[in-house]
Amino acid sequence: MQKRNFKVPVGLAFTLVIGLVGFKDTGIFVNNFNAKLNNGTEVSYSPNDRAEITGEGASKTTYKVEADGNTFYVPKESLLKVDNGVNGYTVIKNTTLYDENDQVIRVLASNEYLKFLESQGDKDLVLTEDGLRGFVKKDDCLDPDRIRNIVDGKANEDLFLDNGRSNFSINQGDSVKVAWFQEDYYIVFDNNQNKYQVAKEKISIYTKEETLVEKIKRTTYERPLSLSAESAGLVEKIIDKAYTLIGSPYVYGDTGKEGYDCSGMIYSLMGEFTDKKLPRSSKDMAEVGELVFEEDLEPGDFLFFTSKGGSVINHVALYVGGGKMVHASNSAKSIIETPIDSYYFKNCFSHARRVLD
């Protein structure tokens, strides 16, 4: 679910600052979370507990959390991210600006504003209003100017919200701007930045996006038309060129300078013989063209694959006819020809696309 910065009303700003400690992104648990880590450590959190978020998991469905020297991952539906670090700091009372050798540059006066540049361990690199760059210690007297994070939640039912001064109607499934979690309710905003309280069970803060492979599984399939004579001629040229590339080295990210990766080979072939502008990655290519199922394959179709049991496209090949495909194989470290009745095809094939018509 997308997240974006949002201007928080002044009346709520002080409330949101209370309890925020440290200078990393902050999350608030909205559900119980218990896990046993690989080192045997057990972690346990209850609703309203705080956590420091240091990133996302590879699947983008979890937050990476650090606590007491341990790193673990928490599902996004259990942890509400409420800020994105800091823009800078206001000096609360006189403190010191240091250089990289811990030598004093000057004393920072109360109410000076420092722009945050970079975090380095227990110190932050900052820029003063008069243009000096230096370090401040995180435990000094600094008031963080946090970058508030608003999560796009979804209403689980039709809602009519009333805060005594304004009201707000939300239809089931509509997006809701969620800024905070407290006790058993979320704090949300309308478009005029009026805030409301909503019971936790009435809003979902994370909904996993449907993958392309999942969409295809529920797609009503219509058999594609055969290629036109013009396109068939182009396909013949593309396949002939593909065979000349067999043995070329696999080079990640390359389109022919020193070798090819899987999508780089397809991208290069199509660019040479057609005016079709394809995306560069196999994941994005997998959404271009007409959907083709295995029983309707024709030479020139693109074949798309996932990892075994996975749902994310990570490989593409060119079907050359006769039950064979040509592709840049990472495992073989070169462009090869492979039968489509191979173990890999049977276990990892997702679908095919026909770009030429």
Return the active site residues: 262, 315, 327
What count of Cα atoms within 13 Å lies in the side-chain half-sphere of residue 188?
30
Cα angle vertex 230, ends 229, 231, to 5°?
Answer: 95
Locus of tokens 């701007």: 177
Look at strands 133-137 and 50-56 and give their pairing: unpaired
CA distances from 45 to 31, 77, 304 (A): 8, 14, 41
Quote the CA–CA distance of 140 and 129 in Å, as a whole number: 18
| Contact residues for 2 (Cβ-Cβ < 8 A; gap 6+) | 152
Quote the CA–CA distance of 286 and 277 in Å, as a whole number: 14
259: tokens are 């070798």
Cα angle vertex 270, ends 296, 292, to 5°?
Answer: 15
